[in-house]
């Protein structure tokens, strides 16, 4: 498992100082099926906006 997961989306409830993701798990999906050719074909489904 990755020790450092970076995130620049500072309006996510899992964002922490230093652009760190503090979610206990991360779920990433592909727009194109089971694989993706690049980052533009993926989304982080773990994102939850801050209130």
pLDDT, tens digit, for every residue of 3-20?
899 999 999 999 999 999
Q: Is residue 2 predicted with pLDDT exceeding 80?
A: no
pLDDT score for 23: 95
> What pLDDT was estimated at residue 27?
96
Domain that holds residue 24: 1-51
Residues 36, 42: contact at Cβ < 8 Å? yes
| Residue 1 scores a pLDDT above 80 | no
- pLDDT tens digits for range 17-51: 999 999 999 999 999 999 999 999 999 999 999 98
DSSP 12-49: BTTEETTTEE--SS--EEETTSS--SSGGGEEETT--B
This prediction's pTM = 0.81
Q: How many domains does the chain have?
A: 1
Cα(34)–Cα(21) distance, integer angstroms: 24
């Amino acid at each position: 498992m990755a020790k450092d997961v970076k995130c620049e989306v500072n309006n996510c409830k899992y964002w922490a100082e230093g652009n760190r993701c503090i979610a206990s798990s991360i779920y990433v999906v592909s727009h194109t099926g089971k694989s993706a050719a690049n980052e533009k074909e993926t989304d982080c489904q773990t994102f939850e906006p801050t209130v």
